[in-house]
Amino acid sequence: MSRSLIILHGGTVLTMDGARPTDAATRAADRPGVPDAAGRRASAICIAGDIVLAVGTDAEILALAEADSTVVDLAGRAILPGFVDPHAHPYWEGTVATRPSLEDAPDLRAAMRALPGAGEHLEPDAWIVARYNQARWLDGRHPTRDDLDRAVPDRPVVLAHVSGHAAVANSLALALAGITAATPDRPGAAVLLRDSTGEPTGVIEGTEAWAALAHAMPLPGPGEVDVAMRVAAARLAADGVTWVADADLGSVMTLEHELAAYGDAVARGTFPLGLSLMPGLVHLAPRPDDDPPTPADVMGRLPAAVRAAIVVRHVKLKADGALTTRTAWLMSPYADAPGHAGRPVHEPAALVERVRRAARAGWGVATHAIGDAGVVAVLDAYDAADAATDTADTAAGAVPHAAHRVEHGMLLEPAVVARLAARPRPIVAQPEFTAWAGDIYLRRLGEARAGRLLPYAELLAARVPLAFSSDRPVVAGAPLAGIRAALAHDAGISVAEALHAWTATAASVAGADRAGVLAAGRRADLVILPADPTAIPATAWAGGADGLVVVATFAGGRLVHGAIDGLRTAEPEEPGRPRRRRR
């Protein structure tokens, strides 16, 4: 098969190949010839179809050019492996992008005044769904059903907290979802706040708060799904992301609906990025002693044509909630809520049982744990499940599974870092969180404990696999913003290490075996930046003065965002925008 080559030369190529992010000698720098966390450096790269054909010097790579090759002079720009986001929620991001946000309202009253307008263009029976973050409002209190009923009495309204760990509904939405004073609480998962008479106030807290209401909503139609998937892909590509994991499939609407949405979008080429899907374990196995289907079973529900393109290796599980909503599980009480320390979503024995059954079915388990008590409970469960799996299940012919991961892993006491050093488990962290909510974390935890949030340099020194991710749409999620936030949060890590956490390590935890590194035979996933990011001092990054933007993004050899030297995307980048005319 003939395939015309794309040659990019005259720049800096940071391959991440052979990178050594945790090597003490290279962390101290100034060792010429020793690869640092950015890996091997080159000046040119050749792409053939969807793979990298070669990386090397300008002379080596230009010698490969054929008559029909596209040759682009980078003029000093830099090429990195495309960013990999191993924990995001693209379908959720695509759907909320079309919905209003009340986050920018100064207070609750202003938010309620804005709400009726959100229903203006909707069908008469459609639900109003908007996002909110009461911690950003002056009065700082959650809205209640009464607030929502006064603003919009005649159609169902659900406000989803940006963290995903709380929601508020008006009376009509509560009625449609079957939620009454008699509805039992599920501690950690879905707890109804109640007034003095026991009536629900409309506020639901816990990891399943949204799900308690979403099951009553009509499923989005094919047109809405198509827009959501295109918007999600366009936003990711614009931020230089070429591979993404949906880290809780089935949590927005239903597992079947979301599998179909991704399967269809990948088959039609409207989601042109690498993709890992991580089903929510509670959707595969509702009770702790249910055996989940295997990864192959879930893969079998996708269209045959896309199975080779999608990675299905991890399930998502939640051990606790969020600091912003005081639902993360702490060893000792919140600084701003005496006597309250959050609580686990699953009892310890049930957590072990869920992990063990998932692992036996061939799944790596990726568990959300934010508070110090939540993280310890997850590590305990992984150790206990591993021990049980090693003895009983391996003998019974269980399939090997991907490494269990800790999602967020925010509050890490020294003893926990030491435990991770002894038995490494990947930490999938979200560096932008500390920039987004650092002031709230300080109030929730007090100064001493807040100082133990996300100790990146300690984790790297302990050789813990540290991957960066976004959790978008909880935050905006651009990897460049994440690097700025990481370097502002912890002066002990280097720019190259932050880049490594967004590429090579992120790819390995996402199961993206051919992504994350630029080398012959790897996926042609790359991002072009205006200059070598490692040549910009970390202090400039931390101060937001790096001046970098994403110039162009290639996913699988295809330009999916931006333009460079005559190469430009063929498709409009966001649906609805006019197609750019080719010159």
Binding region for Zn ion (CB under 5 A) out of 145-153, 179-187, 469-477, 557-565 = 469-477
**Helices (H) and strands (E) in the chain — how many of each?**
21, 25
By the rule CB under 5 A, 85 interacts with Zn ion: no
Residue entry with tokens 């614009």: 238
Q: What is the smallest separation between the CB atom of 328 and Zn ion, expressed in angstroms?
A: 13
Binding region for Zn ion (CB under 5 A) out of 125-133, 266-274, 464-472, 501-509 = 464-472
**Chain centroid to CA 429:** 9
Closest CA to 66 of 51, 53, 78: 53
Cβ atoms 525, 243 nearer than 8 A:
yes
Nearer to Zn ion, 17 or 432 (CB): 432
**Chain centroid to CA 172:** 32
Q: Which residues pair with 327 in a beta bridge?
A: none
Q: What is the smallest separation between the CB atom of 84 and Zn ion, expressed in angstroms?
A: 16
Q: Tell me if the bond preceding 473 is cis, omega within 30° of 0.
A: yes
Binding region for Zn ion (CB under 5 A) out of 149-157, 219-227, 468-476, 559-567 = 468-476
Nearer to Zn ion, 471 or 525 (CB): 471
Q: What is the smallest separation between the CB atom of 469 and Zn ion, expressed in angstroms?
A: 8
Cβ atoms 108, 141 nearer than 8 A:
yes
By the rule CB under 5 A, 93 interacts with Zn ion: no
Using CB under 5 A as the binding rule, the residues of this chain from 155 to 174 that contact Zn ion are none
Nearer to Zn ion, 147 or 471 (CB): 471
Q: Tell me the site size for Zn ion, rule CB under 5 A.
A: 1
Nearer to Zn ion, 43 or 367 (CB): 367
Nearer to Zn ion, 202 or 280 (CB): 280
| Residue 117 in tokens | 């307008």
Q: What is the smallest separation between the CB atom of 316 and Zn ion, expressed in angstroms?
A: 8
Binding region for Zn ion (CB under 5 A) out of 153-161, 372-380, 463-471, 572-580 = 463-471
Distances (CA, A) of 519 to 70, 487, 531: 19, 27, 20
Q: What is the smallest separation between the CB atom of 153 and Zn ion, expressed in angstroms?
A: 33
Q: What is the smallest separation between the CB atom of 251 and Zn ion, expressed in angstroms?
A: 9
Q: Angle, to 10 degrees, between the axis of helix 222-238 and the axis of helix 90-97? A: 110
Nearer to Zn ion, 157 or 370 (CB): 370
Q: Is 249 helix (H, G, I), strand (E, B) or coil?
A: strand
CA distance linking residue 439 with residue 144, whole number of Å: 25
Q: What is the smallest separation between the CB atom of 471 and Zn ion, expressed in angstroms?
A: 4
Q: What is the smallest separation between the CB atom of 470 and Zn ion, expressed in angstroms?
A: 9
Binding region for Zn ion (CB under 5 A) out of 48-56, 174-182, 288-296, 466-474 = 466-474
CA distance linking residue 495 with residue 533, whole number of Å: 7
By the rule CB under 5 A, 471 interacts with Zn ion: yes
CA distance linking residue 132 with residue 113, whole number of Å: 14
| Residue 411 in tokens | 């509050």
| Residue 375 in tokens | 């993280």
Nearest residue relative to Zn ion (C-beta)? 471
CA distance linking residue 302 with residue 279, whole number of Å: 13
Q: What is the smallest separation between the CB atom of 89 and Zn ion, expressed in angstroms?
A: 6
Binding region for Zn ion (CB under 5 A) out of 95-103, 132-140, 184-192, 470-478 = 470-478
Nearer to Zn ion, 471 or 546 (CB): 471
Q: Is the dihedral of CA 358, 363, 364, 370 positive or negative?
A: negative
Residues forming contacts to Zn ion in the complex (CB under 5 A) are 471
